Homo-oligomer: A and B are copies of this chain.
Amino acid sequence: MSKLLNNVCSELQRLPGVGRRTALRLAMHILRMDVEMADSLSSSIARFRHDIRYCQSCNNLSDEALCPICSDSRRDRSVICIVEQVGDLLSIENTGQYHGLYHVLGGVISPMQGIGPSDLKIDLLCDKLLTGEVKEVIIAISTSVEGETTMFYLMSRLKAFPDVRVTTIARGVGFGDELEYVDELTITHALLNRRPL
């Protein structure tokens, strides 16, 4: 096997979900690309890894010291939505319905993976709350065991700010979900939190 092909396949296999076969398929696709396109793919990876920064205020990925959201004067600075990771932030942004700020924890407390509270950007969050500008904190963390642990820890830290309202996103049966396939906990929760029509 060609060394160049072998090399690119090994490198591609470091990516999640990419095995030997997929790596080969990707390599063959790269081969059919224009040289400029392949160069552009290659350089975008290197530039992303080298130049990306974390927003000093919310820990979102950013090109500058402050991310586009934190530096946008039209955003409502009285609400902060706490998410685990950048992907969650992007999902909420895609709805176009949230106009406050975010705070990206960068993970959840997970003793199994050696992630403790000090590994998350919780101090950075508390610093922002100290200014008194924030009126509400929305917790949008997943309901896994690690997520719940993180939520309890966050609640204990947020007690230091009694003027800040703490909320969490609604849990229930999703739009388009078929009741038949929804888990019992979600259905129980959706029943208990039923709303008048």
Main secondary structure on A side of the interface with B: helix
- A49: chain B residues within 8 A (beta carbon): 30-31, 33, 35, 38-39, 42
A52 to chain B, nearest CB (A): 5
User: Complex: how many Å from CA A118 to CA B9?
Assistant: 30
- A29: chain B residues within 8 A (beta carbon): 15-16
Of A86-94, A122-130, A187-195, the one contacting chain B is A86-94
Chain A: residues with Cβ within 8 Å of the partner, total of: 52
> Is A175 an interface residue, CB under 8 A from the partner?
no
A3 to chain B, nearest CB (A): 5
Stoichiometry, copies per complex: 2
A1-13 vs B, CB cutoff 8 Å, 1 = contact: the mask equals 1111101101110
State whether B48 touches A5 (Cβ < 8 A): yes
User: Complex: how many Å from CA A68 to CA B1?
Assistant: 7
State whether A45 touches B50 (Cβ < 8 A): no
- A7: chain B residues within 8 A (beta carbon): 44, 47-48
> Is A51 an interface residue, CB under 8 A from the partner?
yes
> Is A61 an interface residue, CB under 8 A from the partner?
yes
State whether A33 touches B14 (Cβ < 8 A): yes
> Is A26 an interface residue, CB under 8 A from the partner?
yes
